[in-house]
Amino acid sequence: MRSNNDDSNHGTQAVAVDSTSRIAAMVLFGLGCMDLFRGLAHTFMIHWANDTFAHLDLSVNGGDQLMLLGAFGISNWLTGMLFILIALKAKPLASATLSIILIAYGVGVLGLKFAGVSPQADFYGRFIMFGYFAVCFMGIVWQQLANKRQRQRAARSST
């Protein structure tokens, strides 16, 4: 049987977990919204996305190229929804999720280099991807600085 003291400790732990993940969760929520937009652009607005960002030459295998762009959009819908879900319902996973995004981007870039793939089109979407990468990195750094400040405050208040 729990005492009231146990309940108050549990409440304190929940607040501490929430505050150490809040920034990462906000960043992840923003990235989730961005991914939902990217999903929309790569699926329902695929011709606009190509004309505005990708500039793919659709005269050769245009349907296949658009299908690949659309498949990327489907994964954007998935990641967008998952990122928002994590940000709202599983905040303690937000920092790890941002780290996983950076790792996935790194593995992807290495894989493309290994395969000898380089863009032939303007591919302006890469600048959005660079910004996405930078936001993940900055979100992790910002969260870690906030966690450090919180630990320092807790150490001062316990002495």
CA atoms of 121 and 53, how far apart (whole Å) = 10
Structural domain harbouring 72: 19-152
* Count of structural domains within the chain: 1
How many residues does the structure list for the chain?
A: 159
- Render pLDDT for 117-145 as a digit per residue (tens, 0 to 9): 988 777 788 888 889 999 999 999 999 99
H, E, C per residue of 94-125: HHHHHHHHHHHHHHHHHHHHHHCCCCCCCCCH
pTM for the model stands at: 0.82
Using pLDDT thresholds of 50, 70 and 90, give the confidence band for residue 19.
low
Residue at 135 is within a domain: yes
Using pLDDT thresholds of 50, 70 and 90, give the confidence band for residue 5.
very low
The token duo for 59 is: 């005269």
Residue at 9 is within a domain: no
Q: What is the mean pLDDT of residues 41-52?
A: 95
Residue at 78 is within a domain: yes
Residue at 13 is within a domain: no
8 A C-beta contact, residue 138 and residue 102 = no
Higher pLDDT, 84 or 3: 84
Each as own residue / partner, the long-range contacts of residues 84-88 (CB below 8 Å, 24 or more positions apart, any chain) are: 84/28, 84/29, 84/32, 84/33, 84/36, 86/25, 86/28, 87/25, 87/26, 87/28, 87/29, 87/32, 88/25, 88/29
Residue at 57 is within a domain: yes
Residue at 63 is within a domain: yes
Among 7, 30, 18, CA closest to 90: 18
133 CB-near residues (< 8 Å, 6+ apart): 102, 105
